[in-house]
Amino acid sequence: MNEDDAVDALKRLGLTTYEARVFVALQKLGTGSASEVADIADVPRSQVYGAADDLEERGLVDVEQSNPTRYRPVDVDEARERLYRQLESESDAAFDYLDSVREEYGTADEQSESIWTVRGESNVVSRAAQLVSAADERVVYGTDDTARLEPAVRDALEAAADADVEVTVVSENDDVLDVADDLGALPVSVCHQPTPEMGAARVVMADDDAVLVSVLGDDGAETAFWSRGTAFASMLSSLLGQFVAAQEDQ
């Protein structure tokens, strides 16, 4: 299978031509701006922005808050899970091609000093659960709303606790703490909100080097900012760890 065949297969899965070409180009780049994508994809630069925005809505691309805006594709396995319901026989070949591109260009394990944005509740839930599942030693999950303990999040927290990962759930809401106890996590009651008030819908810390913080917009839509292996992640993890320790001592 060549690149044109892969683009055609992705189109049959529901992507537009421009979306498919931008997604393949980003697999080659690992991360890239609209200009960099346009340089290697048969897509006008003016059309890259719209295609990348549509890919973000599908949960296939993360957007870095920078100037210029930069884009990063999700892992091939994650994309496969999101689109698998629509796969036909040729779809496996398309994803095999994307895997080979990542291997060829050496971007599969790339780390970036960046903060990424995830929009939409289902996409935020997926990212939060993924961070929890990837933890080896410690997870802190904070929320005051039981609605932010979706089944995927609960399963990830419970699986982490069963794997002897230190799991702590922090909340002012006793109902949230009851769920945490049922999952085998350590429930920590927040006696007072940190100052200044962050207004976060959920906070995730994994292994002291990965963090996710989400907020709700005026329309109720959830947006999360997350980072892994960066100075920002380490700093926020340290602050969160100190806050949790202070609550445990009270």
Torsion region of 190: left, alpha or beta (phi above 0 gives left; psi -120 to 50 gives alpha)? beta
CB 187 within 8 A of CB 180: yes
Statement to judge: residues 81 and 180 lie in one domain: no
Statement to judge: residues 148 and 228 lie in one domain: yes
Q: CATH number, domain at 220?
A: 3.30.870.10
Q: Render pLDDT for 182-214 as a digit per residue (tens, 0 to 9).
A: 999 888 776 544 433 457 899 999 998 899 999
Statement to judge: residues 31 and 128 lie in one domain: no
Residue in 60, 67, 64 with CA at minimum distance from that of residue 115: 64
Highest mean pLDDT among 1-15, 21-35, 66-80, 226-240: 21-35
Statement to judge: residues 174 and 57 lie in one domain: no
Among the candidates 74, 105, 136, a domain finishes at: 105
CA dihedral 102, 104, 108, 114 (to 10 degrees): -90
Report how many helices (DSSP H) and strands (DSSP E) the chain contains, helices first: 10, 10
Number of domains in the chain: 2
Whether the full predicted model's pTM is greater than 0.85, yes or no, is no
